[in-house]
């Protein structure tokens, strides 16, 4: 995972986004030259993501509507050891260096650390190298420096960003082919089997396959991803509560198990295979808590499809209404919100320039996402954040995000 390197509030105009990106790259480049004595031969960028709607549906084979964002993980690298399968990677965010051989990845030691709940930033890189090697992909070593501006623990998927950045670098080292969907699957495997987080596919897929000015309507069963234009007059604003997520792994596992129990009771493979009428028909057979979990997933899938329709029709009011409903369902049926998220969402929804808001990510802290009118998004977001700080005493931030492309080699 990556630590935010410049978390001052951003107005979201393209100029400030580019300036922030330059600052991150300048720090990485300086560190690279200090460590290696040379300039980078290549740059890799992989974005974070924000999910507009569709929470806790991906591991139920459902639908999601995320977008890759212009906050990213960057790697500066060189391939000056062409026959060497060693990766030497320095993180400027953690001021740590690690080295490993991509053709000698041993998972046995990692399994013991998973049991002890021990994970560090390098485990995401090592896990990706292991997953690509296990799948038979040719990969190579490199020397690199990594850093980024995706806040940790905020629900913006800093973990998927570093996974896809490392995957892109490993493939680039041998000038190999890049298939975003294949690499997303392998990054997901790395997070599940090496890191120990039994995640869905959404984060890795949108970080790999994101498009500029588009959200992706993803079918998490087929992995079909349909680009959906984001109207230029709308601004997607991330509102960081400054409450970092706690107990996410255990709560995430519990929710996933509850969904599996609900599906089993209804005689289907996943909750993707039922509608609300089916859930209601089995209400007496389900524990009340499990019934609520199933109701959230089924209704959330419906909201995602309708939200994509609303975006295509440039219907901000309908999209905002669906976002509001999503937060209520996540708060009451899925029970993954918290006081800080509820306050932030309530304040955003109470602003006359906001169309709708909801928590984004796994929940239990992190960020909300809100839809504002672009022409007034900066001042409006500042007002919401100021009200939140007065209400909670927490140093919240707002980020106005542009939809960005997925992981790629970037020209100087």
How far apart CA 56 and CA 159 sit, in angstroms, is 17
Do 93 and 2 form a contact (C-beta atoms < 8 A)? Answer: yes
Sheet of strand 397-401, all strands in order from the earlier edge strand to the far edge: 354-360, 367-373, 234-240, 397-401
Q: Check: CB of residue 97 under 8 Å from CB of residue 89.
A: yes
Q: What is the pLDDT of residue 5?
A: 32
In three-state secondary structure terms, 238 is strand
State the pTM of this model.
0.90
What are the residues whose beta carbons fall under 8 Å from the beta carbon of 307, sequence distance 6 or more? 52, 53, 54, 65, 319, 322, 323
Residue numbers annotated as active site? 203
CATH architecture designation of domain 234-401: 2-Layer Sandwich (3.30)
Q: Which two tokens stand for residue 43?
A: 């740059």
Residue 299 CB neighbour total at 10 angstroms: 17
The per-residue DSSP string of 54-92 comes to --S-GGGT-EEEEEEEEEEEEEEEE---TT--EEEEEET
Picking from 91, 53, 50, the residue whose alpha carbon sits closest to that of residue 71 is 50
Domain boundaries, the chain: 14-228, 234-401
- What pLDDT score was predicted for residue 108? 79
Question: For residue 396, with 0-12 CB atoms within 10 Å meaning exposed, 13-18 middle and 19 or more buried, which class applies?
Answer: buried
Q: What is the pLDDT of residue 84?
A: 81
For residue 370, the Cα-to-chain-centroid distance in whole angstroms is 16
Structural tokens at position 398: 């707002």
Q: How far is CA 50 from CA 8, 35, 47, 104, 207, in A?
A: 18, 34, 10, 35, 10
Residues 6+ apart with CB under 8 A from 91: 2, 97, 121, 122, 145, 146, 147
Closest Cα to residue 137, out of 107, 168, 165?
A: 168
Mean pLDDT in order along the chain per 10 residues (412 residues): 34 53 90 95 97 97 97 94 85 94 84 75 94 95 95 83 98 95 97 90 97 97 97 96 75 92 98 97 97 98 98 97 98 97 98 97 93 96 98 96 96 70
Instruction: Supply the pLDDT for residue 380.
Output: 97
What pLDDT sits at residue 111? Answer: 80
Cβ distance 181 to 408 under 8 Å?
no
Q: Which helix (H) or strand (E) segment is 252 a member of?
A: helix 248-265
Q: List Cβ neighbours of 328 (8 Å cut-off, separation of 6 or more).
A: none
| pLDDT of the residue at 102 | 92
> What per-residue confidence (pLDDT) applies to 170?
97
How high is the pLDDT of residue 107? 84
Between β-strands 234-240 and 214-219, what pairing exists: parallel, antiparallel or unpaired? unpaired
Cα distance between residue 222 and residue 299, in whole Å: 20
Q: Out of 3.20.20.70, 3.30.230.10, 3.40.50.720, 1.10.1060.10, select the CATH number for domain 14-228.
A: 3.30.230.10
Helical pair 248-265 and 288-312, crossing angle rounded to 10 deg: 100
95/225 Cα distance (integer angstroms): 37
């Amino acid at each position: 995972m990556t630590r935010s390197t410049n978390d001052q509030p951003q107005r979201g105009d393209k100029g400030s986004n580019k300036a922030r990106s330059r600052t991150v790259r300048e720090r990485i480049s300086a560190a690279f030259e200090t460590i290696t004595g040379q300039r980078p031969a290549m740059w890799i960028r992989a974005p974070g993501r924000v999910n507009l709607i569709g929470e806790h549906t991906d591991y139920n084979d459902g639908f999601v509507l995320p977008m890759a964002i212009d906050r990213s993980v960057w790697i500066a690298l060189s391939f000056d050891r062409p026959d060497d399968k060693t990766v030497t990677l320095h993180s400027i965010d953690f001021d740590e260096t690690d080295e490993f051989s991509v053709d000698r990845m041993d998972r046995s030691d990692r399994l013991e650390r998973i049991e002890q709940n021990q994970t560090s930033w390098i485990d995401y890189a090592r896990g990706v190298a292991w997953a690509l090697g296990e799948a038979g992909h040719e990969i190579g070593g490199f020397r690199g420096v990594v850093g980024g501006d995706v806040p940790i623990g905020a629900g913006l998927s800093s973990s998927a960003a570093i996974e896809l950045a490392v995957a892109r670098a490993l493939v680039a080292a041998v000038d190999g082919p890049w298939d975003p969907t294949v690499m997303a699957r392998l990054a997901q495997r790395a997070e599940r089997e090496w890191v120990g987080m039994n995640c869905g596919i959404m984060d890795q897929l949108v970080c790999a396959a994101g498009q500029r000015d588009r959200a992706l309507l993803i079918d998490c069963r087929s992995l079909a991803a349909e680009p959906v234009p984001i109207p230029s007059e709308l601004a997607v604003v991330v509102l960081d509560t400054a409450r970092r997520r706690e107990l996410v792994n255990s709560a995430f596992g519990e929710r996933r198990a509850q969904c599996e129990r609900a599906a089993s009771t209804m005689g289907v493979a996943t909750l993707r295979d039922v509608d609300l009428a089916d859930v209601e028909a089995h209400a007496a057979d389900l524990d009340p808590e499990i019934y609520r979990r199933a109701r959230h997933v089924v209704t959330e899938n419906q909201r995602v499809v309708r939200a994509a329709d609303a975006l295509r029709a440039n219907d901000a009011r309908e999209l905002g209404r669906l976002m509001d409903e999503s937060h209520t369902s996540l708060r009451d049926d899925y029970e993954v919100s918290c006081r800080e998220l509820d306050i932030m969402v309530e304040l955003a929804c109470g602003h006359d320039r906001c169309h709708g808001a909801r928590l984004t990510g796994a929940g239990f802290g992190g960020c909300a996402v809100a839809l504002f009118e672009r022409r007034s998004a900066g001042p409006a977001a500042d007002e919401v954040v100021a009200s939140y700080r007065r209400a909670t005493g927490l140093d919240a931030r707002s980020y106005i995000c542009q939809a960005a492309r997925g992981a790629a080699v970037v020209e100087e």
